């Protein structure tokens, strides 16, 4: 990729409209100063003193953060939060971002706002160290009226956006945003607009999704198709098989080995990962890949171009420690060696 092509693609980002359908979490970080450690008089247990609390959108919210950092013009958040303090905090964090539309983001009185509580031991001499998380999730099925309302929002955005990103973060089926009515709505949109970019990712695997563009890691691909090896050559064969069966592209992330992409009827291609440049934190890397693929494909990129830019984004994000990071076009241009000359 050269400078002109990179600039042409990212130059289209501000005109993009992206619908982000999925499970929005609140990432709440608790900074712990180990020098202030105490023993509780009441229980005799160690006390971790928190000196700073910071919050940011997580899960689908991490994808949204990346879309904003990439410069996407409009991002329609489609999902829900609870009618609670965490929901208020999540909404406040989302609406601070330019171009984010929350008119299809529902506050539900009968749902909790999902939270990832992340205690971090922070010192001046070492990288932040995360302790056991404290999570808040919904463990009962999403109420049917809420399921239908989200599905209606998906259908209403059909033909109005340049791409849909679908992220299922919850482990228990039917307890989040991605439920059967929502999947049926996405299938209807893809059938109505066969060339539309609809890219899906799920912690539970993607076998229950309709035919859309699928993004997964190597282990998820192996589990989905029932094979044991996760070698590059085997993964290529099975990515091609899945793309042909699905009728839409398949992307497979392979950690330090990069990413595979396959279009139906074409050989899979591979883009290696960038070398590690120091300590890393892989949290959020997959979400940066998803956001970048969606934007670049919607901007008219080839499979190869989309994967090259996605690998640059993920390499930037994994080197951001103690947070779920993002990557900007300027950072990606520097890493790819396509930054405009400043002479």
Query: Which pLDDT score, from 0 to 100, does residue 126 have?
Result: 86
Q: What is the pLDDT of residues 331-340, one digit of tens each?
A: 999 999 998 7
With vertex at residue 333, the alpha carbon angle to CA 330 and CA 334, rounded to the nearest 5 degrees, is 90
Residue 218 near residue 254, CB atoms below 8 Å: yes
- pLDDT above 70 as % of the chain: 98
Contact present, 293 and 310 (Cβ < 8 Å): yes
Residue-range domain boundaries for the chain: 3-25+57-113+139-336
Query: Who's near 145: CB < 8 A, 6+ residues apart?
Result: none
Please indicate whether residue 262 or residue 340 has the higher confidence score (pLDDT).
262
Ranking 62-71, 92-101, 128-137, 270-279 by mean pLDDT, the lowest is: 270-279
CB atoms within 10 A of CB 117: 18
CA gap 81, 86 in Å, rounded: 8
Q: 343 versus 107: which is more confidently predicted?
A: 107
- With a CB cutoff of 8 Å and minimum separation 6, the contacts of 268 are 236, 237, 239, 240, 243, 260, 261, 262
Q: In the predicted model, what is the mean pLDDT of the chain?
A: 94
- The tokens for 42 are 């009441």
pLDDT at 309 over 90: yes
Q: Estimate the crossing angle of helix 144-157 against helix 180-192, to 10 degrees.
A: 10
pLDDT (average), residues 107-119: 97
What is the CB neighbour count within 10 angstroms for residue 135? 11
Q: How confident is the model at residue 342 (pLDDT cuts 50, 70, 90)?
A: low
pLDDT at 343 over 70: no
**What span, in angstroms and rounded, lies between the C-alpha atoms of 81 and 90?**
8
With both helix axes pointing from N to C terminus, report the angle between 303-318 and 285-298 in degrees, rounded to the nearest 10.
Answer: 150
CATH 3.40.1190.20, applies to 3-25+57-113+139-336: yes
Question: Tens digit of pLDDT for each residue in 136-188?
Answer: 999 999 999 999 999 999 999 999 999 999 999 999 999 999 999 999 999 99
Question: How far apart (Å, rounded) are the C-alpha atoms in residues 246 and 243?
Answer: 5
Confidence of residue 1 (pLDDT cuts 50, 70, 90): confident
pTM (two decimals): 0.92
């Amino acid at each position: 990729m050269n400078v002109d092509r990179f600039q042409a693609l990212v130059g289209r980002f501000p005109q993009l409209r992206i619908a982000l359908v999925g499970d929005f979490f609140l990432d709440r970080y608790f900074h712990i100063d180990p020098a202030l450690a105490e023993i509780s008089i009441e229980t005799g247990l160690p006390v971790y003193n928190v000196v700073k609390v910071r919050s940011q959108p997580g899960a689908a919210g991490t994808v949204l953060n990346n879309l904003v950092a990439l410069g996407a013009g409009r991002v329609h958040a489609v999902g829900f939060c609870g009618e609670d303090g965490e929901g208020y905090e999540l909404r406040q964090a989302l609406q601070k971002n330019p171009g984010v539309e929350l008119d299809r983001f529902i506050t539900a009185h009968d749902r909790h706002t999902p939270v990832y509580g992340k205690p971090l031991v922070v010192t001046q001499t070492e990288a932040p160290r995360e302790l056991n998380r404290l999570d808040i999730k919904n463990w009962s099925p999403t109420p049917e009226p809420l399921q239908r309302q989200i599905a209606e929002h998906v259908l209403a955005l059909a033909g109005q956006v340049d791409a849909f990103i679908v992220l299922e973060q919850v482990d228990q089926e039917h307890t989040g945003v991605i439920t059967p009515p929502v999947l049926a709505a996405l299938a209807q949109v893809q059938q109505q607009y066969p060339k539309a970019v609809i890219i899906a990712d799920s912690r539970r695997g993607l076998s229950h999704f309709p035919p859309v563009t699928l993004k997964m890691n190597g282990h998820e691909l192996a589990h989905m198709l029932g094979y044991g090896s996760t070698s590059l050559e085997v993964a290529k064969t099975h990515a091609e098989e899945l793309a042909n069966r699905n009728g839409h592209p398949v992307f497979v992330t392979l950690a330090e080995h990069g990413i595979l992409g396959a279009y139906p009827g074409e050989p899979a291609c591979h883009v290696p990962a960038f070398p590690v440049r120091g300590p890393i934190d892989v949290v959020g890397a997959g979400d940066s890949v998803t956001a970048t693929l969606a934007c670049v494909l919607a901007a008219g990129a080839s499979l190869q171009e989309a994967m090259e830019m996605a690998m640059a984004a993920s390499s930037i994000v994994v080197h951001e420690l103690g947070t779920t990071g993002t990557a900007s076009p300027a950072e990606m241009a520097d890493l790819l060696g396509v930054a405009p000359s400043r002479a």
